[in-house]
Amino acid sequence: MAPKDSPAQYGRPVTRRYRTIWISDIHLGTPGCKTEFLLDFLRHTESDYLYLVGDIVDGWRLKRSWYWHEGHNDVVQKLLRKARKGTQVTYVPGNHDEMLRQYVDLEFGGVLVVSDAMHRTADGRMLLVTHGDAFDPIVSYARWLALLGDEAYNIALALNHWFNKARLALGLPYWSLSAYLKGRVKNAVSFISDYEKALAAEAKRRGADGVVCGHIHKAEMRDIDGVLYCNDGDWVESCTALVEHAGGRLEILDWAEVRNLQFAARRPDFIPAEAAPALNLAEIS
């Protein structure tokens, strides 16, 4: 018998209702983007507020070579549809979609672009919402090194893809090898700790009770010196989101685990630039 709320029971989907959802680091335009997992999440969740916390589109990758799968269009259309149906969608650009920062305070298809945001929870807490790259010294002061690291990260994601193909053949669920390797590297652990402390300090400086960010692809929620630090994770490794329940309680969802997803994790066929379906900007302007 299929597990409750599993893909085998799509005829009777369960929609989860939240007050607020935060997602980031989708990296549309890259082979590593888990569109199947994300589309399943978007189809089975609803919220009053939806924050897109940066790196939704990977402009860095698209500048080097064009990659755009039909599923990437589906994600964009699904987000726009949520805005049309009444969800308040706020887009906080990150470093990979920094080209959108020139459109701060403008609205496209019901999606408001801002540099950062303040969100008040149902129980009265104020949360600073920011992508977080401004607190990454490598991105801020050594962009060439960040680009080099991005290429190495793409290699790790490719290894992760084939690793999960093997797990699927063995009947095992999705598990992020790249996230595990990152967590085992001493320097990466030290960097993440410094990053989290810097963001907590910024939230405190701005009078917020907590901070919601992305950027480092490590979902976490914990107290740092009296400030609530929340990272909503990503959709290339962990497939996680941060959600706020009706009463203000915050929770990190590991969607692959919640829905027992074991999609093929296949790498979509490459679509050359001349054959790729273009985004209809008229539709979102």
Q: 197 and 189 in contact (C-beta within 8 Å)? A: no
CA distance 231 to 62: 25
DSSP 236: T
* Helix/strand/coil for 242: strand
Using alpha carbons, select from 249, 247, 217 the residue that is nearest to residue 232: 217
- The CB-side HSE value for 159 (13 A sphere, CA atoms) comes to 11
Q: Is the pLDDT at 153 greater than 90, yes or no?
A: no
Q: Using only the alpha carbons of the chain, give its radius of gyration.
A: 18
All structural domains of the chain, each given as residue ranges with its CATH number in brackets, are: 16-269 (3.60.21.10)
Q: 53 and 93 in contact (C-beta within 8 Å)? A: no
pLDDT tens figures, 63-103 = 888 899 899 999 999 999 999 999 999 999 999 999 999 99
Question: What is the amino acid identity at position 87?
Answer: T
Which residues, listed in sequence order, are joined to residue 143 by a DSSP beta bridge?
none
CA distance 79 to 38: 11
Q: Is the pLDDT at 38 greater than 80, yes or no?
A: yes
pLDDT tens figures, 195-237 = 899 999 999 999 999 999 999 999 999 999 999 999 999 999 8
